Structure 1
Amino acid sequence: MSLQEILNPSIKEAVQKTFDVTIEKIEFQATRKDFEGDITMVIFPLLKIIKGNPVEIGTKIGNYLVENVAQVEKFNVVAGFLNIVISDEYYVNFFNEIQSNDKFGFGAASANDTRGKAELSEAKAVMVEYSSPNTNKPLHLGHVRNNLLGYSVAEIIKASGKKVYKTQIINDRGIHICKSMLAWQKFGNGQTPENSGLKGDKLVGNFYVEFDKVYKTEIAALMAEGKSEEEAKKQAPIILEAQQMLLDWEAGKPEVMELWKTMNQWVYDGFAQTYKSLGVDFDSYYYESNTYLLGKEVVQFGLEKGIFEKDADGSVWIDLTPDGLDRKIVLRSDGTAVYMTQDIGTAIQRVKDFPDVGGMVYTVGNEQDYHFKVLFLILKKLGFEWAENLYHLSYGMVELPSGKMKSREGTVVDADDLMEEMTTTAKSISEELGKLDGYSDEEKANLYKTIGLGALKYFMLKVDPKKSMMFNPEESVDFAGNTGPFIQYTYARIQSILRKASFDTTQKVTIELHPKEKELIKQIELFPEVIQNAAHNHSPALVANYTYDLVKEFNSFYQNVSILGEENQDKKVFRVQLSKKVADTIKLAFGLLGIEVPERM
């Protein structure tokens, strides 16, 4: 039973018996570091129903708790805050209960986390969409943030106790795909991933860049002949050819379809390698070439129900102005669908494919905020119950010190190159610090990758998803501060302690706690609540920064008490056990972020 589950009924009882008042909700918070206490009750909300001085009210409640709750040792009141001191026995018993639980925190919600539990419980299963790339170029830095966020949120929701499906929709059709195809036809000279030695997505991406170069040259030539820029963009021969290729694709022209399938497969194979290196996976895939016609039948249903309206030109719209939005087209006058129609149909199709899905999370950049407001509202108006559990995991742009990226010009930061650079940076810094004496070359190579990717992932995920961020590779690979390598190093340090502990550490012991031990156990106790809050808020940053706080607390403990050098055997056993539980919690938390932890560093 958690501390809040113990205190809640007793405080309500204290208020009832002392003030003859019934209260529904009690507000708790962590006790400030400059005051004595383990948990704090906020008195101020009671002043609405209890007349009196907050210090006097807090003192009466505190006295009741000391007399009636075995776990409460003493208290103090500061202004409107009742700081409660909990006995060592409670924390020792709590620790003994969880120390052998390898999955401590997973699927366990805290007593006061009713909001998160209630909302999550409405969904039978949750589908999380992320990545969703175009098949005309490799994955880049922006995709890295997208994949890491989506994967981590899926893992966190799963850890909170929900069933999760990971999915993506691959944008494999449209004019941008035809640009790469056309450029390959013109300039490829039969290149393939096999004969060029390039990953398929990189090869195709090169031709996307090549198309843009030729397109710009043709535009310049037409403008030199007296055409306006707008006219030149529309009349450039290569763009006209690409538009014709798109029409041929839509008509199913065999040679175009064959080239499309071949080049897309090159890209899929390249993506698969990147996903494997990045450590993300998917349970299902959707392709725009299969979904772009979905939703048209829903438009007819919406017309019959009066949700949509048809204009004089035959186009179909939905008027969302009463909801604070605008009119949105869902079908063009020629009967073709728009992206919104496709997204409506795809959402419905996913629930058909996975009937236990009761909610979805879309990991898409914040430039699409309005699109998802409209999509979710339309699905609600169409009467789908699961539409109440749709969430747009909106995230900000990633920038580098050198500025923004432009894929058409080939100036993007390639995901594979970035991961390789992170590994190289980890190698350079590790060698400077001289931490790897006695490692084989293979062990070093594996460790460099673990540290480099850990640095990348942690740096990306410790930032609130909604915020834009500046990514600095060198700053992320730092063995001090709020970084992945710092936390990985602490984990490895604990493993070293455990290897040196040549005595039986399995028995349960009861000791008087050192203040640093108590603080460390209090931090571990927060883990289940952190998972629930992170799932509710769709924020891996909560897990990342919790782990950093845990590691800081451990390092303070490590510096202030002797572990293996402790003479008292029970204390020594307890401290080794406590160290192991910290390491276990780090590993579990980092697992939710997709980060590996090394046994040695």
Structure 2
Amino acid sequence: MNIVQDLKSAAVQAFASAYNINVAPDSIQVNETKPEFEGDYTIVLFPYVKELRKSPDEIGNAIGAYLKESYNQLVQDYNLIKGFLNLTITNSYWLGFLNENYTNTSFGNGVNTNQKVMVEYSSPNTNKPLHLGHLRNNFLGWSIAEILKEQGNTVYKTCVVNDRGIHICKSMIAWQRFGEGKTPQSEHEKGDHFVGDYYVKFNDAYKAEVKNLVANGMTEAEAEKEAPIMKATQKMLLDWEEGNEEVRALWAKMNGWVYEGFDATYKAIGSDFDKTYYEHNTYLLGKDWVEKGLASGVFFKKEDGSVWIDLTADGLDEKLVQRKDGTSVYITQDIGLAELKAKEFGIDRNVYVVGDEQNYHFKVLKLICQKLSIPAADGMYHLSYGMVELPTGKMKSREGTVVDADDLVAEMIQIAAQKTEELGKVADFSTDELNDLYNTLGLGALKFFLLRVDPKKKMIFNPEESIEFQGFTGPFVQYTHARIKSILRKVGELDLNIDAPTQLHPLEIKLITTIEQFPSVINDAANAMDPSGIAIYVFNLAKIFNSFYAELSIANAETAEEKALRVKIAQLTAATIQKAMHLLGIKVPERM
């Protein structure tokens, strides 16, 4: 049951009966009626004026009268306002929806589309721990994957770990020089934090060497090239690429430390992957496609031997795909990895969750893959998102000024504990229950705050603001869920199979109609690749429930029929909040 589709189908019959014309259901525009007008849903009449050669009011009266008479279980009444047909939906329709769904655990699920979608997110470097920007990436990727699942797709979550290259060697050379044999175990530190510290140490040492060389007569540009620690790092990278056993052993050891740290963070924040790709296994992929592209005329070779593609006809420019020395560039391995994913999983769509600084890269990648006829190239989508900043400004990992993901999660849990204890309503909780509650609230606040904003927008994250129990926050929604569960526990078991009241209160209707929109909200979020619509929706649903409960008692309803009705509404509201929050990766407590 879907009110918009039902109204479109009924309107099709109305146009056929009144004017003997066939109107496609999807061409009929149905919107929620504006709050200042009477009615629930509105049909826009202007598209039919020219074809029918009649005034909007004449068309509206004909369609409205037909719906009221022939679909009297759906349409109770109608009115016309300047070309808009406003329809009031019958109580029986809303009660039918409620009775059909208040125990329906699959409410919101889409129909199986038989599409396979891969969502690639996280993509960290193994020279530093995850930070605040990675959190937005992980939360977006995980949420979009779950939303696409709910829409009826088969979804695969993947991660590409950037575990090779000059940045990785910087941490390695710094550990060789300054580590003195220390390990994460000896320093009682997470492996990713431990390695990240040496990345910062490299930068400090490099800047000191450059400064010293400049003081001795070199230009800054010369000093940056000649700094001994940078030369040693470049040599280490060449040794790695040539398979030097000692360098490879150090690389494996330090990456192992980082992987353990990543796994702990992923577990803490609720990220998971069906497959992880490692750059050291994929960076040579795509070389075969260079030859195929040259043979087919997609690529061309310049006089120096480098290979390019000319995308000027597509509004872009020329793009290098292979250097003159025969080595590949990032986009080459991305081409090869795109083919590998398609072969391994048979995907129809490939969603890349990557920051907006890579917008151009992904435009080029998709165009190249389409021109090379790579499988699923048409289904490539870059879910671009803006930078997250703190009130204090931007972060720089090489200078050690990033906000560590682990530290931020710990801070959020601590703030959740402090604010919960200030409310003083958890005296009967055990220590384990309290710890679980603080973790649920802290992570919920963090995820909700990062997901409530359109991904394309930059945002400022304020930990204190995110965890307030009032306002547009995760804890407000979580508290509403816990409140409903508390109400239902107090009410206890009831016979809900009794007739509903003949009249519904406007707030009862408002809750039911808002819940009925949930599947459409999920569909819109999936199509837009934007979880913020679900965050806005579930916040509004929680607000409406609180208004409903402030005015209408459930436990002390005047009649058994009203009590049963409101219990059903409360049950469906709680289930909808729980599912919506799950799609954002957020748990909701049973009590708090």
> 1 CA distance for matches of 2:254 and 2:499?
64
> 1 CA distance for matches of 2:496 and 2:196?
56
> 2 CA distance for matches of 1:154 and 1:416?
23
Q: Residue 316 of structure 1 contacts residue 330 of structure 1 at CA under 8 Å; is this kept in 2?
A: yes
Displacement of 1:508 in angstroms is 5.3
Q: Residue 96 of structure 1 contacts residue 508 of structure 1 at CA under 8 Å; is this kept in 2?
A: no
Aligned to 1:422: 412
Of the structure 1 ranges 312-321 and 53-62, higher mean CA displacement relative to structure 2 is found in 53-62
Select 1:78's aligned residue among 73, 77, 81.
81
Aligned to 2:515: 524
Displacement of 1:108 in angstroms is 4.6
Deviations 1:516-572 (A, max 9, x none): 111111011111111111111111101111101111111111112111001311210
Aligned to 1:94: 97
* AA at the equivalent of 1:457: K
Displacement of 1:511 in angstroms is 2.3
> 2 CA distance for matches of 1:490 and 1:103?
21
Aligned to 1:504: 494
Deviations 1:44-88 (A, max 9, x none): 222342333323322221111111112111011111211101110
| Aligned CA distance change for structure 1 residues 508 and 324 (closer, same or farther; 3 Å) | farther
Aligned to 1:392: 382
> 2 CA distance for matches of 1:566 and 1:220?
78
Select 2:445's aligned residue among 433, 455, 459.
455
Aligned to 1:139: 130
| Aligned CA distance change for structure 1 residues 457 and 48 (closer, same or farther; 3 Å) | farther
| Aligned CA distance change for structure 1 residues 142 and 48 (closer, same or farther; 3 Å) | farther
Displacement of 1:453 in angstroms is 0.6
Q: Secondary structure at the match of 1:73?
A: strand
Given the alignment of the two structures, is residue 4 of structure 1 paired with residue 7 of structure 2, yes or no? no
Q: Residue 151 of structure 1 contacts residue 594 of structure 1 at CA under 8 Å; is this kept in 2?
A: yes
Aligned to 1:372: 362
| Aligned CA distance change for structure 1 residues 230 and 505 (closer, same or farther; 3 Å) | farther
Displacement of 1:31 in angstroms is 1.1
Select 1:433's aligned residue among 400, 406, 423.
423
Q: Residue 339 of structure 2 contacts residue 375 of structure 2 at CA under 8 Å; is this kept in 1?
A: no
* AA at the equivalent of 2:173: L
Instruction: Report how many residues are paired.
Output: 588
Q: Residue 295 of structure 1 contacts residue 346 of structure 1 at CA under 8 Å; is this kept in 2?
A: yes
CA RMSD of aligned residues (A): 1.3
Select 1:36's aligned residue among 32, 35, 38.
38
Aligned to 1:152: 143
Q: Secondary structure at the match of 2:119?
A: strand
Q: Secondary structure at the match of 1:439?
A: coil
Given the alignment of the two structures, is residue 403 of structure 1 paired with residue 393 of structure 2, yes or no? yes
Q: Residue 169 of structure 2 contacts residue 236 of structure 2 at CA under 8 Å; is this kept in 1?
A: yes
Displacement of 1:6 in angstroms is 2.3
- Once the two structures are superposed, the pairs formed by residues 166-181 of structure 1 within 5 Å of their partners are 166-181=157-172
Displacement of 1:509 in angstroms is 3.5
> 2 CA distance for matches of 1:511 and 1:238?
80
Displacement of 1:434 in angstroms is 2.1
> 2 CA distance for matches of 1:540 and 1:315?
42
| Aligned CA distance change for structure 1 residues 385 and 351 (closer, same or farther; 3 Å) | closer
> 2 CA distance for matches of 1:508 and 1:586?
25
> 2 CA distance for matches of 1:384 and 1:68?
53
> 2 CA distance for matches of 1:42 and 1:247?
67
Displacement of 1:284 in angstroms is 0.2
> 1 CA distance for matches of 2:558 and 2:478?
29
> 1 CA distance for matches of 2:180 and 2:333?
36
Q: Secondary structure at the match of 1:293?
A: coil
Q: TM-score, normalised on structure 1? A: 0.96
> 2 CA distance for matches of 1:92 and 1:597?
27
Q: Residue 338 of structure 2 contacts residue 374 of structure 2 at CA under 8 Å; is this kept in 1?
A: no
Of the structure 1 ranges 377-386 and 540-549, higher mean CA displacement relative to structure 2 is found in 377-386
| Aligned CA distance change for structure 1 residues 508 and 260 (closer, same or farther; 3 Å) | farther
Q: TM-score, normalised on structure 2? A: 0.97
Q: Secondary structure at the match of 1:307?
A: coil
Q: Secondary structure at the match of 1:131?
A: coil
Aligned to 1:577: 568
Of the structure 1 ranges 262-271 and 18-27, higher mean CA displacement relative to structure 2 is found in 18-27
Displacement of 1:506 in angstroms is 4.4
* AA at the equivalent of 1:203: F
Deviations 1:167-196 (A, max 9, x none): 011000001000000111111111111111
> 2 CA distance for matches of 1:569 and 1:417?
51
Aligned to 2:581: 590
* AA at the equivalent of 1:107: G
Select 2:344's aligned residue among 350, 353, 356.
353
Q: Residue 342 of structure 2 contacts residue 375 of structure 2 at CA under 8 Å; is this kept in 1?
A: no
Runs of 4+, deviation exceeding 6 Å: none
Displacement of 1:145 in angstroms is 0.2
Deviations 1:106-135 (A, max 9, x none): 1259xxxxxxxxxxx5x7300000000000
> 2 CA distance for matches of 1:216 and 1:298?
40
Q: Secondary structure at the match of 1:36?
A: coil
Q: Residue 92 of structure 1 contacts residue 511 of structure 1 at CA under 8 Å; is this kept in 2?
A: no
> 2 CA distance for matches of 1:237 and 1:384?
44
Of the structure 1 ranges 211-220 and 56-65, higher mean CA displacement relative to structure 2 is found in 56-65
* AA at the equivalent of 1:367: E
- Once the two structures are superposed, the pairs formed by residues 70-469 of structure 1 within 5 Å of their partners are 70=72, 71-108=74-111, 121=113, 124-355=115-346, 357-469=347-459
Q: Residue 496 of structure 2 contacts residue 565 of structure 2 at CA under 8 Å; is this kept in 1?
A: no
Q: Residue 135 of structure 1 contacts residue 177 of structure 1 at CA under 8 Å; is this kept in 2?
A: yes
Of the structure 1 ranges 255-264 and 497-506, higher mean CA displacement relative to structure 2 is found in 497-506
| Aligned CA distance change for structure 1 residues 428 and 568 (closer, same or farther; 3 Å) | same
| Aligned CA distance change for structure 1 residues 282 and 509 (closer, same or farther; 3 Å) | farther
Aligned to 1:568: 559
Q: Residue 60 of structure 2 contacts residue 85 of structure 2 at CA under 8 Å; is this kept in 1?
A: yes
Select 1:471's aligned residue among 461, 464, 467.
461
Identity, in percent, stands at 54
* AA at the equivalent of 1:88: N
Aligned to 2:542: 551
Aligned to 1:62: 64
Of the structure 1 ranges 156-165 and 543-552, higher mean CA displacement relative to structure 2 is found in 543-552
* AA at the equivalent of 1:179: K
Q: Secondary structure at the match of 1:49?
A: helix
> 1 CA distance for matches of 2:234 and 2:58?
78
* AA at the equivalent of 2:280: S
Q: Residue 505 of structure 1 contacts residue 577 of structure 1 at CA under 8 Å; is this kept in 2?
A: no
Of the structure 1 ranges 485-494 and 558-567, higher mean CA displacement relative to structure 2 is found in 558-567
| Aligned CA distance change for structure 1 residues 310 and 141 (closer, same or farther; 3 Å) | same
Name stretches of at least 5 consecutive residues in structure 2 with no aligned partner.
none
Displacement of 1:352 in angstroms is 1.7
Deviations 1:334-361 (A, max 9, x none): 1110001010001101112213x11110
Displacement of 1:385 in angstroms is 4.7
> 2 CA distance for matches of 1:563 and 1:256?
69
Displacement of 1:10 in angstroms is 2.5
